[in-house]
Chain A
């Protein structure tokens, strides 16, 4: 009998705890339970038989921790223990018709971005266990707290076997796992990946799990698995507090939510399973059998955040190199900080989703996409729209994406449909479909609608759910084709009304070639929203566009009582004020508050001012102008006014060249701040506050250089936190300061192996290497790194820093410099690189 038929129309009874049963039989504390498959097979078989006797239709083989990392050093291999475990389960099941599950638990090490184990490594570990366990009838992945790890396991299971896959994760009472994964994210992601059933096991008793099961039912149409603990352990005796009768009675309440596959976890034994069997028999007779009826509105997610597209939402378009030289340079230099800063400015501005496009000439797009997706999901929780024309890039991104993503895009061309739709299905994404085909973009709304309908049918035939299909009716430039705007909107309305699909538009394309683009954009945007646009792809940093969105939601009664509009008004300047300011600034008449003289800066001596005409460029006048600039910048730095720093710098760039701004304004200002820090007149936070402002000033200069095309860096410095250490705040502070002094910093990140540092130093011809370590336990790897750098003959000086280092120790491990703080690292850089 096929196991899938078994839970299609009836309840399926699993087994209970294995570990505690083996302990009762005499398994010593601290032993690896999986080794008992070989040393004491009779014990394992007996436990299985007890559960089968009580009615278990599926027994979990004793393979929970049988992965290559946990078994390293145990003297056993994965195939050996998994093979024996399945054999034991088979023997126990003989003649009973019970099914045998390969049981896969967490690896026991944390995955990136929090831990060091990469997604790809986790996938390899799970693949080995799956390959060893192909003799089972199904695969159960359980007790997962990290959605990323669960995804690696599911991909391994599905790519290395044809067996059905069950997944259960472990939640706390706040309905989150330890890593913060929500119930909705689990359901959206795992159902998307094509698992056969999902649910929850361990950590809580049935009563505490009840609300979690209820929530699961709102997010999935799959059969729901529940394997509770026997209540909560008593703090003193460690005994569980729920008895079999009560256990079964509470589980019965879960049936009405769609719980269909039941068993027990920690603290349960065969009598719990026996009571569950009786309860399920009763429930079948009472006709309680229930299918879940989940939400059918499109939702996209990361583990921490689920964005339900129940109203218009903003896709931020700024992570895209098209037409942006500075962005292309960042891609070429793999400057992830710059890319992430683009993400953060959009998040602060109110984006709901982020578009990610890293396609540019000379870039390994797939590699860069993986790197960017991983970097983004390490710090942001907004769902991503993966944007590329290349199927291999989309697949690489979908693989490492943690959650349910949106893909941009597929179109009506046969080749596109064939290449992209299977990826959407396999990875459980949603997809934006462009209404164009082999013949290009049709002019008429009806023709675009026809393409939309065709793509929809094809997507459905691939098994993609209807809510995961979105249509982009394509915005053309109105200056080139004036009638196209209304055709696009008409098509949007048709798609919305006749197909019932969500719609997407890249709204800012509309105004190319026209003056006052903002006015065209905001008007068109509002028209599009009214026509049924759900997901505008736009720049959320443009205030009037966000205001248009907020206004539309208030007018369309989406924003109940206009509360959203009112709260937005509290935090944002109204449109007309912003425009007035911009105009005033452009006209050069922006009223400035009189600058208070910061403490410790000599006031400008008016008597020294030479009697020269305004705009004079003699050295004396230039010197005075620089002095004034230093004072202005210093004020911005000391008060932490980043925007002001940027504005001032932009002004200076119109008056003088970038190198003289750096050398005559920014660095003297930083030196003043640094001096105060050294004298103990200000403290680290204020130094850093100043550095943050200086960073903005440098960014302004950098983007003007990108536009002009000349580099300004004084020399390249490599920074890394050594292998084994994950503390990087200190290193990041040093980085900001060094960049402020005009050095280019190659930041290798944290937990960096010696070889990577040596390789990068040689490849880039680095002359100054900075190494950081915070722990006594990682000083060894700092020493090792220095030894390897010397052995490789790297022509570089090495500075080291970190809480536990001393000048003596730095000398002992062969470093050239000990930097006690970030300011000193800049002094060292000056000495080495000038």
Chain B
């Protein structure tokens, strides 16, 4: 178990625009330039890191882990996997400071930075996933499944982070309400190996808002 850094050199902003409800992009040049400014500011402060551990998986249990995923949706997701990867990633505390600070430049900036940061953590996770499977070998694997999604309880967050020693390794904390700080952080589970049955590509099936969210109503999804 080691901590890795991810360097993001650019963001295309497509996800951020979608989160902001602007699927057609920014028509106004002033807004577009503000968006680019926010992007540059964000990229300058991101200090992204991730940490992971690979556990043998049998009978629905992670061997040798104090954290065990509970619930039907995650069981279906990991079904048939031989190994399960616990992964935690964060953009670091500088991003939170930038979001707090943006408020005094304007709420527009705050929303843009916030949405861009949400996109950035997804890109960091993509890079983490690529890094992990370049080390483990290119096995097929499921998409990243996070506590709070489907019926996988958010309450396991604390144990999950402890198993990864995330506070010490990547500076990631969790409070009593299971909120993580730095706030732009993600924990997730990935199944791999064996007779994998979970989806490799994200779907809406386990989402509590399936079909009802504003993304779907506008003919899209919240993910790429």
Contacts and interface: CB of A to CB of B under 8 A. Distances in A.
22 contacts: A110-B173, A113-B100, A114-B93, A114-B181, A178-B92, A337-B104, A341-B104, A379-B103, A639-B30, A683-B22, A685-B22, A685-B108, A724-B175, A724-B179, A725-B177, A726-B181, A729-B107, A729-B114, A733-B107, A775-B177, A778-B177, A778-B179
Contact of A684 (B2, B30, B111, B170): B111
Interface string B93-115: 11011011101111110111010
Contacts of A340: 104
Interface in A224-264: 232-235, 238
Contacts of B92: 178, 180
Interface in B123-161: 135, 148, 154-155
Interface in A80-122: 108-110, 113-116
Q: Pick from B1, B97, B135, B154 the residue with the most CB of A within 10 Å.
A: B97
A344 B104 contact: yes
B105 A235 contact: no
A379 B100 contact: yes
Contacts of A777: 154-155, 177-179
Interface stretch (A466-474, A516-524, A686-694): A686-694
B183 A726 contact: yes
Q: Pick from B96, B107, B171 the residue with the most CB of A within 10 Å.
A: B107
A595 interface: no
B20 interface: yes
B66 A29 contact: yes
B82 interface: no
Nearest to B106: A692
B30 A178 contact: no
A116 B177 CA distance: 11
B108 A640 contact: yes
Nearest to B92: A178
Interface of A: 29-30, 108-110, 113-116, 145, 174, 176, 178-180, 232-235, 238, 304, 337, 340-341, 343-344, 378-381, 639-640, 642, 683-686, 688-689, 691-692, 724-727, 729, 732-733, 736, 775-778, 781
A379 B103 CA distance: 9
B47 A688 contact: no
B167 interface: yes
A179 B93 contact: yes
B114 A116 contact: no
Given A110-B173, A692-B106, A732-B107, A178 B93 contact: yes
A116 B93 contact: no
Contacts of B2: 232-235
B1 A235 contact: yes
Contacts of B181: 110, 114-115, 726
B34 A640 contact: yes
A639 B171 contact: no
B66 A30 contact: yes
Given A29-B66, A234-B2, A114 B179 contact: no
Contacts of A109: 173, 175
Contacts of A145: 171
Q: Which 6 A-B pairs have the closest CB atoms?
A: A178-B171, A724-B177, A692-B106, A235-B2, A344-B104, A683-B21
Contacts of B135: 235
B1 A233 contact: yes
A688 B170 contact: no
A344 B21 CA distance: 29
B173 A640 contact: no
Contacts of A178: 92-93, 170-171
Q: Pick from A337, A685, A775 the residue with the most CB of B within 10 Å.
A: A685
Given A114-B96, A724-B179, A775-B177, 18 more contacts: A114-B181, A178-B92, A234-B2, A379-B101, A381-B97, A683-B22, A684-B21, A684-B111, A685-B21, A685-B108, A688-B111, A692-B107, A724-B175, A727-B179, A732-B110, A775-B179, A777-B155, A781-B177
Nearest to A337: B104
Nearest to B28: A639
A69 to B, nearest CB: 12
Contacts of A683: 20-22
Nearest to A176: B47
Given A30-B66, A232-B2, A685 B31 contact: yes
A113 B99 CA distance: 13
B31 A686 contact: yes
B171 A179 contact: yes
B198 interface: no
Given A378-B100, A380-B101, A684-B21, A180 B107 contact: no
Given A145-B171, A380-B101, A684-B21, A689 B177 contact: no
A724 B167 contact: no
Nearest to A639: B30
B175 A115 contact: yes
A736 B106 CA distance: 10
Given A233-B1, A683-B21, A729-B110, A174 B47 contact: yes
B69 interface: no
B191 interface: no
A109 B158 CA distance: 12
B80 interface: no
B68 to A, nearest CB: 13
Q: Pick from B34, B99, B101, B148 the residue with the most CB of A within 10 Å.
A: B101
Nearest to A110: B173
A639 B108 CA distance: 12
A781 B177 CA distance: 10
Contacts of B178: 775, 777
B99 A729 contact: yes
Contacts of B182: 114
Contacts of A29: 66
A646 B101 CA distance: 22
Contact of A724 (B21, B66, B176): B176
A467 to B, nearest CB: 29
Nearest to B47: A174
Contact of B107 (A235, A304, A688, A724): A688
B45 to A, nearest CB: 9
Contacts of B103: 379, 732
Contacts of A736: 107
A736 B103 CA distance: 11
A777 B66 CA distance: 22
A778 B155 CA distance: 12
Nearest to B34: A640
A593 to B, nearest CB: 14
Nearest to A113: B100
Interface in B18-61: 20-22, 28, 30-31, 34, 47
Contacts of B112: 685
Nearest to B104: A344
A403 to B, nearest CB: 14
Interface string B184-218: 00000000000000000000000000000000000
Contacts of A379: 97, 100-101, 103-104
B108 A692 contact: yes
A372 B28 CA distance: 37
A113 B105 CA distance: 19
Contacts of B30: 639-640
B23 to A, nearest CB: 9
A690 to B, nearest CB: 9
A109 B174 CA distance: 8
B168 to A, nearest CB: 8
Nearest to A806: B212
B130 to A, nearest CB: 15
Nearest to A723: B177
Contacts of B66: 29-30
Contacts of A724: 175-177, 179
Contacts of B22: 683, 685
B107 A108 contact: no
A110 B175 CA distance: 9
A488 to B, nearest CB: 36
Nearest to B99: A729
B1 A729 contact: no
